[in-house]
Structure 1
Amino acid sequence: MMPGAVSSRERPDVPSRLTAVPDFGPNPGGLRMYKYVPKKPNKSLVVVMHGCTQTAASYDLGAGWSTLADRYGFLLVFPEQTEANNPKTCFNWFREHDATRGQGEAASIRQMIRKMAEDHAVDPKQIFVTGLSAGGAMTAVMLATYPEVFAAGAIVAGLPYKSATGMRQALESMFRVKVREPKEWGDLVRAASPHRGPWPRVSVWHGGADTVVKPKNAEELLKQWTDVHGLSTRPDRTETVDGYPRHVWTDAKGRDVIESYIIPLMAHGAPVAGGDDDTSYGVPGEYLIEVGISSSYHIARFFGLTQTRRTIVNPFAGERPAPRVEAQRVESPRVAPAADAAVPPPRGRAADPPRPRPGVQKFVEDTIKRALDAAGLNKRR
């Protein structure tokens, strides 16, 4: 399927507000481009990347990004992976070619930003990036390889830049976690581009019960970016936001440059919050977990995009939710199993992730088996 074509994975029960951009210039990574332009947009741009098995439209619905754009006026661009590149439509954050400045998927995403800047007069100091799971790991790639492009980024259930340079390493990093000293992590970012600062601000989100991308990956991400910013690994303050701890690192001027949220008992996915108030966004579904805090809203706030509020009607109100994957609420003592990994399953497996059978032990066994099966998979062309 050619980039820009309608995805065969789009489901009729997932409404889309996004516009395809079939021709956006050089596309060495073979990705699709979608955008969302609210009425009377301002000049800020957020790049949003979905997780495995998701589409741009399903992640937009679940995370609430276009609703946020309507309320606060910023532009959105959604890169979308293709099955030709990756059978489970994961961004290939773990492949050297796709995770290097000027090459592959990273270069395609950079070109999408150029296209948006040309078409919508984007402020070059107001460009941001975020993503979930494989999209979160690809967010780390973009922050490292194009740090001069982004004012800030948010990594949800992702991994550090260069935690893997191949499929086997990716699985090891996800399940066992690659541990390095802060300087070693920071040096990998500094070697990824000729840029020498200032560096993007970074927000890190992770589920405390994530069995797909272990929560310790969030610790390694924080080690990487605190070193890049020349900060201690210990946060400067901790506060409570919507019932959850937020750890904050500040620079010499007192600005919040790094933040982290670890959501206890939450499995693999992005936190969403149902409701009608100004801080509630999202629809529970595939890797989109109702826990009473909207990661998208608080990420937009961290980016500095929520100062000017507009009155809107939620365009997704009453829409049928995306397929659920045993979304887990925090108040329950049971830990919900995650449904998919940030890497593809063996070739020939169905496009939708298998639902875990009852019982945590069985789920763990199935997860390990999928990981071992996937270790020998080669990228399809």
Structure 2
Amino acid sequence: MRPSILRRLLRRVASTAVLGVVAATLSTVGAAQPAAAAGGLQQVTGFGTNPGNLQMYEYAPVDLPAGAPLVIALHGCTQTANDYYTNSGWPKYADLWKFAVVFPQTTSANNALSCFGWFDPAEDTRGKGEAASIVQMVEHAKQQYGSDGRRVYVTGLSAGGGMTADLLAAYPDVFAGGSVASGLPAQCATSQAAASGCQTGPQKLTPAQWGAKVRAGLPGYTGPWPRVAIWQGTSDYTVYPANATALRDQWTDVWGIGQTPSSTDTLPGNTTRSVYNDASGKPAVETYSISGMGHGLAVSPGSGTDRCGSTAAYFLNSICSSYYTGVFWGLDQGAPGGGENPLPAPSGLTVTGVTGTGASLSWSAVTGASSYAVYRNGTEVGRATSTAFTDTGLSAGTAYRYTVAAVDGSGAVGTVSAAVTATTTGGTGGGACYTATNYAQVAAGRAHTTGGYVYANGSEQNMGLYNVFVTHTLRESPAGYFVIADTGCTA
């Protein structure tokens, strides 16, 4: 028996304890299916020698022009190309912004849970296995559609995110940008046995050590490097948030820039965006931290330009990550790495009044705005055609965070404003309080860990080291949003 065939057979019977990302968590979703073409999704055969034994599916708008960009989208464990096509939102932007999308698919023939082999050097390094098959799909699609080879991008969820990072390291000459959603830093693990350790906490490496793993993917390569977006939920206990920190360290080091963000802003869905600019002032790396979100790809169903996807297993209603990733890459016709929304943030957001069940807001007008989207605790609650809005149906004695964004005539949502807090009257005035050790707060689901430290869910306040020797009181208001309240708050 050929060694490659024997190796694949061994991988099929490997213990699920050391399979790829989300092996234990995603096993409830069900086995991957053959992915019958749905709608505009079409299977392509004969795209190359296919050393990784993958299947190729693709979608392109009927009026796709020559010289358009190309996006590669990688599913997570137990998922299919059709799952990603149906739920991720990428086809919407392919139609809107005119580019083609390739959806590679792995199956249980490669891995018992249909995970891409991000932890296997025989699959995720240059010229090998699945990575080589994906690049063959790129070349086939470029020939088929006349795609611009300078604008090829790759994105993936979970195990697909881990493979995305590996592809960016192995083929920086192929991919102009990448987006890693709930994934792993490049070459975090080089065996199945090491994969689980990466999920719960990657190696404690310096940025230079993480960056060296990328540079080893194509020795002697000097750039340009891919622009990388990193998406992570703070309540992801399958692929821990420490991986997002390692990814940031890895790619900022590769770009030769520091780990202090050039700017930070707030987006819908309780999302904090941190931007790390290159030497020319363009965003090279962006991180998107989604407070309270678990393991999955962030979507936001709706008809607006910045709304996309559908909720399903591991497609979580929060913010349309595909939209913001596409803007970051410049797929919306902007400059690559632009990362800016079409309208500026409204200024002067003010709470003008509160009752026991409502809060009134006002803000300054934005030139070019046809309406304004209002967000309560990161979730859109309404649209206003004027510069005032009253939110109703609230709980008494509860604090709510509000932001607002201008919307232009095409439905594109601009930059989100700075937040204000409105506290309704009545009630007990402040929400429930919980006093416990940092360890117990995490165990109770009121906080989470990153890099050995504990952070309050929602507010992201640093509570100190993850142990039983540090105690804090947390106040919950609104539900699921915790702040440190060590004085004046009785548990």
Instruction: Tell me if TM exceeds 0.5.
Output: yes
4+ residue stretches of structure 1 with deviation over 4 A? 360-363
Aligned to 1:298: 324
- As a proportion of its length, which structure holds more strand? 2
Q: Do the aligned residues in 2 keep the contact of 1:265 with 1:330 (CA within 8 Å)?
A: no
Unaligned runs of 5+ in 2: 1-30, 335-376, 380-441, 446-491
Equivalent in 224, 235, 259 of residue 261 of structure 2: 235
State the alpha-carbon separation in 2 of the partners of residues 82 and 362 from structure 1.
37
Q: Do the aligned residues in 1 keep the contact of 2:267 with 2:378 (CA within 8 Å)?
A: no
Residue 210 in structure 1 maps to residue 233 in structure 2: no
What RMSD, in angstroms, separates the aligned Cα atoms of the two structures? Answer: 2.1
Q: TM-score, normalised by structure 2?
A: 0.60
Equivalent in 11, 16, 20 of residue 43 of structure 2: 20
Aligned to 2:250: 224
Superposition deviation, residue 72 in structure 1: 1.1
Aligned to 1:97: 122
Q: Do the aligned residues in 1 keep the contact of 2:301 with 2:310 (CA within 8 Å)?
A: yes
Equivalent in 44, 49, 54 of residue 31 of structure 1: 54
State the alpha-carbon separation in 2 of the partners of residues 59 and 362 from structure 1.
33
Sequence identity percentage: 42
Residue 279 in structure 1 maps to residue 306 in structure 2: yes
Superposition deviation, residue 181 in structure 1: 0.5
**Paired residue secondary structure (2:214):** helix
Aligned to 2:227: 201
Q: TM-score, normalised by structure 1?
A: 0.77
In the TM superposition, 1:134-149 aligns within 5 A as: 134-149=159-174
Q: Deviations over 1:234-292 (max 9, x none)?
A: 1111012225211001111111111000101100001110111111001000110001x
In the TM superposition, 1:1-381 aligns within 5 A as: 9-10=33-34, 15-42=38-65, 43-194=68-219, 195-242=221-268, 243-291=270-318, 293-307=319-333
Moved more, 58-67 or 123-132: 58-67
State the alpha-carbon separation in 2 of the partners of residues 288 and 8 from structure 1.
16
Aligned to 2:25: none
Q: Deviations over 1:112-156 (max 9, x none)?
A: 001011111111111000000000000001100000111111000
State the alpha-carbon separation in 2 of the partners of residues 64 and 128 from structure 1.
15
State the alpha-carbon separation in 1 of the partners of residues 224 and 109 from structure 2.
37
Are residues 185 and 20 of structure 1, via their aligned partners in 2, closer, same or farther at CA, if it must alter by over 3 Å? same
State the alpha-carbon separation in 1 of the partners of residues 198 and 222 from structure 2.
27
Superposition deviation, residue 178 in structure 1: 1.9
Letter in 1 for 2:57: Y
Q: Do the aligned residues in 2 keep the contact of 1:264 with 1:330 (CA within 8 Å)?
A: no
